[in-house]
Amino acid sequence: MLERAVELVNGSFRGRYIYGGLQTSQPPFELTADGVLYRGDLGHIELRMSDGNTNQVSVNGAEAFGAFGAQVAGSVNLDPVLNMTAGGTMLRDLNGGRGVSPGGLHLVYSGGPVDIDLTSAESLEDVATAITTATGGIVTVDGLGLNGHALTLNDSGGGPLRVMEFNGGSTARDLGILGSSWAAR
């Protein structure tokens, strides 16, 4: 049933995915071993009208389906805003407390490919430092995507970024950065 639900919410129109915000070229929802992952953004498509005004003509997945809803109540924050500073978000606290599998990443960026060992990383700050160091400062990491709920990788060289798993692990997926993006910002 969950597979069918993901198939339905990944609907498209004229070759563009409907609920991905501004990310319309790839399915916004992905069924993973841990549940459903939202890969879209919180943007809106706007259409310029004949009178010069613009009107919003889309709804992102977070708005349409409550992708970041607060339906779970309790004393533990299950949807924390990421903290990239010293003593900030620990990897063991991510993914609903299941943590991040120790391992590495294979990153392809404007400077070429690089393997990044994250086995000793304990926090998001450690992950950001390892990625920035391995790429000579060309790729940086912040926690500003999706209103502070996702890591964003930025390639100052202007090239496309591709993050893959290293040696069959699941670290990139657990961090929510598995895949490709065009990152020049």
Query: E strands along 49-110, which residues?
Result: 54-56, 104-109
Going from the C-alpha of 177 to that of each of 15, 40, 45, 82, 150, the distances in angstroms are 24, 12, 24, 14, 8
On whether the CB atoms of residues 102 and 92 are closer than 8 A, the answer is no
Q: Cα angle vertex 110, ends 106, 111, to 5°?
A: 75
pLDDT at position 76, please?
47
- Tell me if residue 62 falls in helix, strand or coil: helix
Euclidean distance between CA atoms 84 and 165, whole angstroms: 22
pLDDT at position 158, please?
83
Question: Would the pLDDT of 131 be above 80?
Answer: yes
Euclidean distance between CA atoms 83 and 90, whole angstroms: 9
Q: Pick from 119, 180, 116: which is nearest to 153 by CA?
A: 180
Could you tell me the pLDDT band of residue 185, with boundaries at 50, 70 and 90?
Answer: very low
- Digit-coded pLDDT (tens) for 53-64: 888 888 888 778
Query: How many C-beta neighbours within 10 Å does residue 146 have?
Result: 22
Tokens of 21: 């915000």
- Digit-coded pLDDT (tens) for 16-50: 888 888 888 999 888 887 678 888 888 888 888 88
- Digit-coded pLDDT (tens) for 23-32: 889 998 888 8
**Identity at 122, one-letter amino acid code:** E
